[in-house]
Structure 1
Amino acid sequence: MTTDDPVTTNDAVTANEAAPFDAELMAAVSELGGAMRGLVDASVSTTVGAQELLAVAETVRAATARLAVSRRPASQLPALDDPIAFRRVYSPVTGVGSAIAPPLVIRRHGDEVVAEVRLGLAYEGPPSYLHGGMSALLMDQLLGAAAIAAGLWGMTAHLELDYRGPVPLDTPLLLRARVTENAGRKSVIGGTIALAEAPERVLVEARGVFVTPRPDQAEAYFGSITDASGQHRPPGRPTDATAVQRD
């Protein structure tokens, strides 16, 4: 992500409203995130022997110790995050700094949001197929992104999935989601996972109900959140959704 990237397709939030960020730090976080994703992928697919695995483990522990000298608590937002602009660099689905995120790039297309992704062995459930829990994680994120793209937001109150067929690994996938109902604080959103080459043959279908917390609920949930400097500053729109790019 660069400062020129679109922040969100929600007309209520524009790039000009996004808090500025340290571009050098963003580049470094992205670089480390990419390296970590490469390490995770190699760690679950390698066939090297035990001695080499032990040697690499020592190297990884040394790197971990270097990072652990300065850490933030869970109640403190990362320096690069901006929930209002939906910038979440460590999201486990879209975060450029996350070792476990694909990361997914979500874009707006007509009245829906879409994403294309190829998932490797790190996400395996049944041999050569995607873990069903990963389908739920991806769909939860995409449904939330559809809400944001429609100018809505909320927290997941209900999520249901129908698994119509196994989702293969190392195969281009197409994910879609759109708002199907909007009733005040509640939004209903549907989504699907399919092969990119056969988008109409749905492998996973999802339906989620998202509810905007009442002010007192938001305060109870997020009132202790601080910004990166430690200053008490609960986000006005606490959400795990991340930026949706224009198609």
Structure 2
Amino acid sequence: MHSDAGGQPHDADLMAAVTELGSALRELVDASVRSTVPAAELRAAAADARTVTARLAAAQRPVTQLPELDDPAVFRRVHNPVTGVGSALAPPLDIRREDGGLVAEATLGPAYEGPPGYVHGGVSSLLMDQLLGSAVLAAGLWGMTAQLELGYHRPVPLVTPLVLRARVVGSRGRRTSAAGSIALATDPERPLVDARGEWVTPRPESVTDYFAAITDVSGQYAPPGRR
């Protein structure tokens, strides 16, 4: 068993297996969008993929039940589409504290493409939403995205090391403001994209309303929020 700082113990072997599967799925997604194999090979690969899907679907949780490895109290989400080690969609971002805020690096492949050769603008928004929200959490606060504004100054290139930053810039009552940017790792002070947003901590009655059906693997009520 293994514990995050302040988090509930979890099965280290299961975490390693979920991480391995997530990595394999990301490799598969990347290969699928780059592949130039003929149609027959694509159909054979599709059949293999359906076999794997059936194997994984042999036992599934309802969407109202958190994965066994998740812990809302420390905001550990293994299938988060930005940071989840088990997610086929996530880069995933490995976020760390630095200079009073958060920083992460990423290199995004063709699976994230919008304009040819560049990252989809919606992907930039997804990354910034996650990172700014994480900065709010790192400051000891919690909230749900109430507003997010992005400035797209230059296109974000694919297959190029990027640096992402975020920090809290203000807090009043239940509202917290955060700001951040995406830049080339080789030119971190020149933002390609900047972002600013507000996070609002829901009132207790709203938390109950929004997350009334959410449970952990044992069936216990497990809403997000600070403990």
> 1:147 is matched with which residue?
136
Give the counterpart of 1:113 among 61, 81, 102: 102
Q: Secondary structure at the match of 2:225?
A: coil
> 1:237 is matched with which residue?
225
Alignment RMSD, CA only? 1.3
Distance 1:203 1:133 in 2: 14
For the pair 1:74 / 2:39, whether they are aligned, the reply is no
State the TM-score, normalized to the length of structure 1.
Answer: 0.89
**CA positional deviation for 1:3:** 3.6
**1:45 counterpart letter in structure 2:** R
Q: Secondary structure at the match of 2:223?
A: coil
Distance 1:236 1:142 in 2: 17
1:128-185 Cα shifts (integer Å, max 9, x gaps): 1000000000000000111111111100000110100100000000100111111011
Distance 1:118 1:215 in 2: 39
State the TM-score, normalized to the length of structure 2.
Answer: 0.97
> 1:38 is matched with which residue?
27
1:173-221 Cα shifts (integer Å, max 9, x gaps): 0100111111011001001000010011111010110000000000000
Identity, % of aligned positions: 61
| Mapping of residues 1-247 of structure 1, within 5 Å | 3=2, 7=4, 15=5, 17-229=6-218, 231-235=219-223, 237=225
Distance 2:222 2:54 in 1: 30
**CA positional deviation for 1:55:** 0.3
How many pairs are equivalent? Answer: 226
Query: Where does the alignment leave 5 or more consecutive residues of structure 1 unmatched?
Result: 8-14, 239-247
Which one has more relative contact order, counting CA pairs under 8 Å at least 6 apart?
A: 1
**CA positional deviation for 1:236:** 5.2
Distance 1:232 1:89 in 2: 19
Is the Cα–Cα contact under 8 Å of residues 144 and 200 in structure 2 kept in the other structure? yes
Q: Secondary structure at the match of 1:100?
A: coil
**CA positional deviation for 1:226:** 1.1
- Seen in structure 2, the aligned counterparts of structure 1 residues 160 and 144 have a Cα distance that, compared at 3 Å, is same
Distance 1:69 1:114 in 2: 38
**2:150 counterpart letter in structure 1:** L
- Seen in structure 2, the aligned counterparts of structure 1 residues 63 and 208 have a Cα distance that, compared at 3 Å, is same
Is the Cα–Cα contact under 8 Å of residues 224 and 232 in structure 1 kept in the other structure? no
Q: Secondary structure at the match of 1:198?
A: coil
**CA positional deviation for 1:26:** 0.7
Distance 1:72 1:183 in 2: 38
